[in-house]
Amino acid sequence: MPLLITLISILFLLVLITRFKVNPFVALLLAAGFVGIASGMPLVKVVDSIKDGMGGTLGFIAIVLALGTMLGKMMAESGGAERIARTLIRLFGEKNVHWAMMFVAFIVGIPVFFQVGFVLLIPLVITIARQTGVSLLKIGIPLIAGLSIVHGIVPPHPAAMAAVDLFQADVGKTILLSIIVALPAAIIAGPLYGSWIGKRIQTSISPELAAQMAEPKDERELPGFGITVFTVLLPVFLMLLATVADVTLPKEDALRQWADFIGSPITSLLIAVIISFWTLGFNRGFTKDDILKFTNDCLAPTATILLVIGAGGAFNKVLLNSGVGDYIAELAKASAISPILLGWLIAALIRVATGSATVSMMTAAGIVGPIALQVPGTSPELLVLATGSGSLILSHVNDSGFWLIKEYFNMSVQDTLKSWTVMETILSVVAIILIMALSLVV
């Protein structure tokens, strides 16, 4: 019966989102309520579980999301993303410009959402394609591959950070393992597949869209490469530093305690944001009023993703408190399937059905989370990566990202399926293969 309740709740969730177009936030709350009531929980406890789950998740992720968004906004407004792109393109040369774009996306994608990073960097892709005569897709696919894989599995991105919290994973280890997985996946799905598909699909950006794009800034207006990279990657370095301290120093050591404090996601992002106010703000000629406007304006678009992640946390809490999660964990322990593979499969199925990477990752984390607590030897860090990689697979017409790529690259639906959809699937499949390989040693 508990398994049937879980399956019905997932089906209920999918029907609400895909058939009736219910907002994912509302759909997740309804699914959580259904699980609680159907499993026989006292009604008051159902409500309390939803409140506790949402509050517990957002108490952490809301701060991380707000700070990460501010850091991304400072990088965008200062021209830092453009500086990183120009420098790497100069280093790689015109013949290898598609490789440069992948690394640009990998770095720029760390503090910004996929859509923001894409809109930020697509004018450079267009400019380079025009100047070099290289296929638009050959340059563009590596860009979106780098942005997509970082968005899906690399903290401090919101869904990945929420999964870290739900699985009780170590954030530093997760970052380290995610980079080991993400780089090879991005290389195969980006420059390699992009070079192949770029010869088979000829496309160009629409004149109407090109007219709306901001012109690249003058070289003298851009911040330095070193200071930009330092600012963007500072939180990642601090989080990794905390992990190194945890491995090398005893628990009561004062240096380790300071490293853990400075390297926590909240503190490290706060430090980076404050530093960005100077390096990418005052140092670039912006006033305190400009910076206040940037940090205010960037928060509004985060409301939807924040609510969906919170509702995912509520769904997870109800599954745990109802006993359904424990039952699934017992089934997983008795079966031969790896919890890591199970997390990937559940996230992949929900992604295909709903089109939402965030919904699929949060739902899969809620279902597989109890397993991480009960199955010995299961790495919570790899579970984060598995659900994240599963949430990327087979993006199609029910995903807003599909239409974003289609319109910007001026492609037909068929060509978008051949390029974007296949690229996303390659990312997901290569990632889970690498994750399963890592599970043999981690």
Give the mean pLDDT of 427-441.
95
Confidence of residue 5 (pLDDT cuts 50, 70, 90): confident
Least confident range of 168-182, 231-245, 347-361: 347-361
Backbone angles phi, psi at 38, to 5 degrees: -65, -30
User: Does residue 216 surpass a pLDDT of 60?
Assistant: no
Task: Give the closest residue to 415 by CA, choosing from 228, 229, 200, 232.
Answer: 200
- The model's pLDDT over 373-390, given as tens digits with 9 standing for 90+, comes to 777 778 899 999 999 999
What is the reported pLDDT for 208? 58
Task: Give the closest residue to 233 by CA, choosing from 302, 292, 154.
Answer: 154
- The model's pLDDT over 78-106, given as tens digits with 9 standing for 90+, comes to 888 788 878 878 888 878 888 988 998 88
Return the number of other C-beta atoms located less than 10 Å from residue 202's C-beta: 11
- The model's pLDDT over 36-59, given as tens digits with 9 standing for 90+, comes to 999 899 999 999 999 998 888 888
Average pLDDT of the chain?
Answer: 85
Cα(73)–Cα(89) distance, rounded to whole angstroms? 22
Backbone angles phi, psi at 20, to 5 degrees: -100, 0
User: Does residue 279 surpass a pLDDT of 90?
Assistant: yes
Cα(326)–Cα(401) distance, rounded to whole angstroms? 35
Give the mean pLDDT of 311-329.
78
- The model's pLDDT over 136-190, given as tens digits with 9 standing for 90+, comes to 899 899 999 999 999 889 887 878 888 888 888 898 899 999 999 999 999 999 9
- The model's pLDDT over 182-198, given as tens digits with 9 standing for 90+, comes to 999 999 999 999 999 98
Task: Give the closest residue to 424 by CA, choosing from 104, 148, 192, 143.
Answer: 148
Is the pTM higher than 0.85? The answer reads: no
Q: Residue 96 to residues 91, 142, 200, 334: CA-CA distances in angstroms?
A: 9, 11, 19, 50
Confidence of residue 329 (pLDDT cuts 50, 70, 90): low
